[in-house]
Amino acid sequence: MGQTEVIDLVGDPDASLLPALDCLDRHGILAYPTETVYGLGSLATPRGVSSLAAAKNRPPNRPFIVLVGSKAQADSLAWNSAAERLVERFWPGPLTIVLGDPDRSFPPGVRSVEGGVAVRLSPDPAVRRLLDELGEPVTSTSANLPGESPALTAASAVETLRRIGVVGGCVIDGGARVDTAPSTLVTCTTPAPRILREGAVPKPLILDLF
């Protein structure tokens, strides 16, 4: 229970993800590969978010993003034509969009004080499989300590969990990542989208759509 379990999808692509699902169900913290770096996540529930925020020493004014397995998992959010156009072009991929959450379907710590939720559909097959089997979104933050580079391997993610004091966590090993830019962050909480952070999707490609 106290040891970090590693699911090796490199050696066995069909390995069971049940340990990862169990970890999340226990409101634990899971490390997993994305298209950029290894991330840390939890269920997008009050208890899950609280666990992750405590482990990362994350202040309430810095909400986590959520990863979804399909656009349908974010249907409760306030989609507009700009958001629809962006995800049609760039999802799955390294584009995170901020949408309004009028029904408060996500808890504080994911939903910002302004009422927005940042969401992404990752193309990484390991995290896509996880989200398909889980059937709901997970939170996401880089697997690192403040001021350090994010983990690019499962071994580094295991070490990160140890150093932040996570007990009984789980790591999905999807192989080494290549150090790359983070996802581009665009807010669609108003009719005209606004780029908050330029990353892996270049700004000109975003602007070309509008």
Look at strands 95-100 and 116-120 and give their pairing: antiparallel
Of 141, 121, 114, 109, the C-alpha closest to 44 is 109
In the beta sheet, which residues pair with residue 100? 78, 116
Burial 40-55 (b: 16+ CB within 10 A, else e): bbbbbbeebbebbbeb
The model's pLDDT over 139-151, given as tens digits with 9 standing for 90+, comes to: 999 999 988 999 9
In the beta sheet, which residues pair with residue 97? 119, 186
Within 10 angstroms of residue 72's Cβ, the number of other Cβ atoms is: 8
The model's pLDDT over 42-71, given as tens digits with 9 standing for 90+, comes to: 999 999 999 999 999 998 889 999 999 999
Q: Where are the domains of the chain?
A: 5-207
Within 10 angstroms of residue 81's Cβ, the number of other Cβ atoms is: 11
**pTM score of the predicted model:** 0.93
Q: Is the dihedral of CA 131, 24, 186, 176 positive or negative?
A: negative
Q: What is the pLDDT of residue 151?
A: 97
The model's pLDDT over 160-195, given as tens digits with 9 standing for 90+, comes to: 999 999 988 999 999 999 988 889 999 999 889 999
The model's pLDDT over 76-129, given as tens digits with 9 standing for 90+, comes to: 999 999 999 999 999 999 999 999 999 999 999 999 999 999 999 999 999 999
Q: What is the pLDDT of residue 2?
A: 67
Q: Which fold has domain 5-207?
A: DHBP synthase (3.90.870)
